[in-house]
Amino acid sequence: MLTIVIPSYNHSAYVLGCIDAAAIVNIPGTKIIVVDDGSTDGTVNLIQRYIEDNQLAHKVSLITKPNAGLVSSLNLALSMIDTEYCFFIASDDILVPDGVEKLFTEISHGQYKFVIGGGEYFFEDGRKGLVYRKDHERFFSLSEEARELEMFTDYPSPILLQSTIFRTEALRGIGGWDPTLKLDDYPMFIKLFQKYGQRGKGFDFKADITAVRYRQHETNSYKNAVSQFFMVRDLIRALAPAQIQQVAIAKTLAYYSLHSARIGKFSVVRDLFRSCTWSECVASVLQAPGVVVKYLRRKK
């Protein structure tokens, strides 16, 4: 009925906790696929011992492959799933079994292609908060045309694979993940909304069903802001309508610059602007006031 996919890479400190939570999910016939992307920190041996010690070979499959990135792992897993439904969870996050079970009930009793559940983020020091807020309820309630536009021009509007249950056929119906793009969540949902974007028919949003606890690594927060920006810019250039690409890129540049400045990474701000064209930089400055207002509102 349900396959839980755990893509893993160098998360030996967290992966067993992730598998533990997945193994508790009380849905008959649940399978777990762990795809390790060439970990070098002993993750594979840990998982192998875990499967043997807990006699879970009938339920947990460990697939190993050379390092090729997250998208490669997700597409490999998608090719192996033989159940009607699937759920994805990063190996350093923790799914909430009760929440996954409730999402399963929602999608299996309706015709939805995917159902987005709620989630919370947490830091190791105990701080936590909601992933989805009032803005997301408004976002998911937009018309299909308005939502598609906002996905590009109102970045970031996070939609997590880790909080969503899917019909396997829906992911295969849009061709899985695009191997030319490094991002996973963002482009996947763009394609999903383009094909199944009618809320209440193609998908639904259930913020009250917490399905994931999303780990935040404080020390790595936006450590690679420049490469993150490049990945988003590549996505915008590949998928956004031509007439909104410059605005979308400008707002994204303004967002990463603002966040980097807030945490004192002024060299990152410099590198971000050096990586862009003159027109992108000018457009970003013009978009900055609106991005600042939105950024501050989200931090409240």
Task: Please give the pLDDT value at position 222.
Answer: 45
Question: How does pLDDT run along the chain (300 residues), one tens digit per residue?
Answer: 999 999 999 999 999 999 999 999 999 999 999 999 999 999 999 999 999 999 999 999 999 999 999 999 999 999 999 999 999 999 999 999 999 999 999 999 988 999 999 999 998 888 999 999 888 999 999 999 999 888 888 766 668 899 999 999 999 999 999 999 988 998 999 999 999 999 999 999 999 999 999 998 754 444 578 888 899 999 999 999 898 898 899 988 888 888 888 888 889 899 999 888 888 888 888 877 776 666 556 555
User: How many CB atoms sit inside 10 A of residue 296's CB?
Assistant: 11
Any idea what DSSP says for residue 25? -
Rounded to 10 degrees, the C-alpha dihedral 86/89/94/99 comes to -30
- The pTM for the full model equals 0.90
Task: Please give the pLDDT value at position 220.
Answer: 45
Task: Please give the pLDDT value at position 221.
Answer: 43
Distances (CA, A) of 255 to 126, 194, 291, 299: 26, 25, 6, 13
Which of 254, 187, 268, 267 lies closest to 222, judged by CA?
268
Task: Please give the pLDDT value at position 158.
Answer: 66
Provide the b/e sequence for 11-34 (b: ≥16 CB within 10 Å): bbebbbebbebbbebebeebbbbb
Q: Is the peptide bond before 156 cis (omega within 30 degrees of 0)?
A: yes
Which of 184, 170, 189, 263 lies closest to 225, judged by CA?
263
Task: Please give the pLDDT value at position 28.
Answer: 94
Which of 285, 256, 241 lies closest to 150, judged by CA?
241
Task: Please give the pLDDT value at position 296.
Answer: 58
